[in-house]
Amino acid sequence: MKATAQAPANIAFIKYWGRRDNVLRLPANNSLSVNLSSLVTTTTVEFLSEAGEDEVTLDGQAASPKAAARIQAFLDVVRQRAEFSGRAVVSSENSFPHGVGLASSASGFAALTLAATQALGLPLTEKELSQLARLGSGSACRSIPDGFVEWQTAASNEESYAISLYPPDYWEIVDVIAIVDQTEKSLSSSEGHEAAPHSPFYQARLEKFLPEQYAKILRALDERDFSAFGTVMEEEAINFHAIIMTAQPSVLYWNGATMNILHQVRAWRRAGLEAYFTIDAGPNVHVFCEKKNQPELVRQLSAVPGVEDLMVATPAPGARLITE
Ligand code: PMV
């Protein structure tokens, strides 16, 4: 009745932003991501036969009522499938700060899905685990499979899940994450998904921009063409933030240090250091380079004003059980 699982956060090259169904968390568009080796959540779930409230500890502290309610609601789905009614004791540790747009909900719900189903003896396939994780947090479905991952939009719960396109060792690229702010996000991603369609640019993103970019990035991945890959990733990050800035409500996630990095990355490229950025729903910047350029990129990024910390991640496997 007890199990521990570990799952990575992921960063999307093509972002999921906006949903066709808010309850089932069915995305409005396909998305593509890679799992991140050093951003990991480890979660232990134990089910007790007694009824009562679940007990949830996140990074050594009792979860906020909002976070605990979301986890309890997710565990209710798992309990229903297993026809079990006891309460759960959940303890979760992140290797990185949570709530700052570093996708702790993705790694968190992926690890929770695997640990909770294992603890209740539910034998699920990777596809079923991905579908289930999606109900906790959409992007969590991409933290179940290995390496480079695609999540397709679909009209039903059964058809929307993520699959691995390439294993982690397919391509030696490196994500150097510049932390410029460690405070909590000003808008939850659920609120962001609902705000997105109010941007006057949203339909153009869905109908024209994303289909074109998607085809280009799949080709770049297939050919391991870093320049083409980085160009699409960066254009997509800007399009995604333009939607956020022009939605209702409008959110400005970038701070001054974010902007410093964006200008620097382009200046480094002009000077021959090939690096490209993407930014999730927050101010921190993911800068990608090929492995050979990692030391130079780390050196340059650490000198940018406003950069508080750097994390280095490489493509990683998906969710795993930890045997004690
Ligand atoms: O999984 P959610 O609902 O937290 O959505 C997060 C979506 C982004 O991280 C902003 C983009 C993505 O595709 O990961």
Residue 317 has pLDDT above 80, yes or no: yes
Calculate how far, in angstroms, residue 324's C-alpha sits from the geometric centre of ligand 1. 31
Strand, helix or coil for residue 47: strand
- String of b and e for 215-240 (b: at least 16 CB within 10 Å)? ebbbebbeeeebeebbbbbbbbbebb
Give the Å distance between the CA of 183 and the centre of ligand 1.
18
Lowest-pLDDT range of 1-15, 82-96, 99-113: 99-113
Pocket test for ligand 1, best of 102, 189, 243 (most atoms within 8 A of CB): 189
So what's the pLDDT on residue 323?
A: 84
Alpha helices (H) along the chain: 65-82, 104-119, 126-136, 189-195, 202-204, 210-223, 226-246, 256-270, 294-302
pLDDT higher than threshold 90 for residue 177 = yes
**Tokens at 264, concatenated:** 């620097």
pLDDT at 100: 61
Q: What band does 143 get if pLDDT is binned at 50, 70 and 90?
A: very high
CB neighbour list of residue 207: distance below 8 Å, 6 or more residues apart: none
Q: For residues 111 and 134, give the distance between their C-alpha atoms in angstroms, rounded to a whole number.
A: 12
Q: Is the pLDDT of residue 96 over 90?
A: no
Instruction: Give the per-residue pLDDT at 99.
Output: 60
Distances from the Cα of 39 to the Cα of 29, 34, 93, 122, 284, angstroms = 25, 12, 11, 27, 14
Strands 2-14 and 320-322, bridge-based pairing: antiparallel
Q: 48 C-alpha to center of ligand 1: Å? A: 32
* Nearest-atom index, ligand 1, CA of 31: 13
Position 249 confidence tier, pLDDT thresholds 50, 70, 90 = very high
Q: For all residues of the chain together, what is the average pLDDT? A: 96
Helix (H, G, I), strand (E, B) or coil at 19: strand
Residue of 17, 184, 238 to test ligand 1 pocket, by largest number of atoms within 8 Å of CB? 17
Best mutation site among 14, 15, 130 for ligand 1 pocket (most ligand atoms within 8 Å of CB):
15
Q: State the pLDDT at residue 101.
A: 63
Separation between Cα atoms, residue 297 and residue 273, nearest integer Å: 8
Query: Would the CA dihedral through 302, 306, 308, 313 be positive or negative?
Result: negative
pLDDT digits (tens, 9 = 90+) for 189-216: 889 999 999 999 999 999 999 999 999 9
Q: Which pair of structure tokens corresponds to residue 282?
A: 């927050």
Question: Residues 31-89: pLDDT tens digits?
Answer: 999 999 999 999 999 999 999 999 999 999 999 999 999 999 999 999 999 999 999 99
Cα–Cα distance between 23 and 32 in angstroms, integer? 22
Q: Which atom of ligand 1 is nearest to the CA of 16?
A: 13
Q: What residue ranges line ligand 1, CB within 6 angstroms? A: 12, 15-17, 31, 103, 105-106, 137-139, 189, 280-281
CA of 237 to the centre of ligand 1 (A): 12
Count how many Cα atoms sit within 13 Å of the Cα of residue 277 in the half-sphere of its side chain. 26
Structure tokens at 60: 């050594």
Q: Tell me the β-bridge partners of 45.
A: 3, 90
Per-residue pLDDT band at 324 (split at 50, 70, 90): low
pLDDT at position 206? 98
Per DSSP, the three-state class of 274 is coil
131 phi, psi to nearest 5 deg: -60, -45
- Complete DSSP assignment for 52-115: S--EEEETTEEPPHHHHHHHHHHHHHHHHHHT----EEEEEEESS-SSSSS-HHHHHHHHHHHH
Q: What is the pLDDT of residues 294-311, one digit of tens each?
A: 999 999 999 999 999 999
Give the pLDDT confidence score for residue 210 in this predicted structure.
98
How far is the C-alpha of 68 from the C-alpha of 62, rounded, in Å?
Answer: 9
pLDDT band at 102 (very low <50, low <70, confident <90, very high): confident
Q: What spacing in Å lies between the alpha carbon of 86 and ligand 1's midpoint? A: 31
CA distance 18 to 244: 11
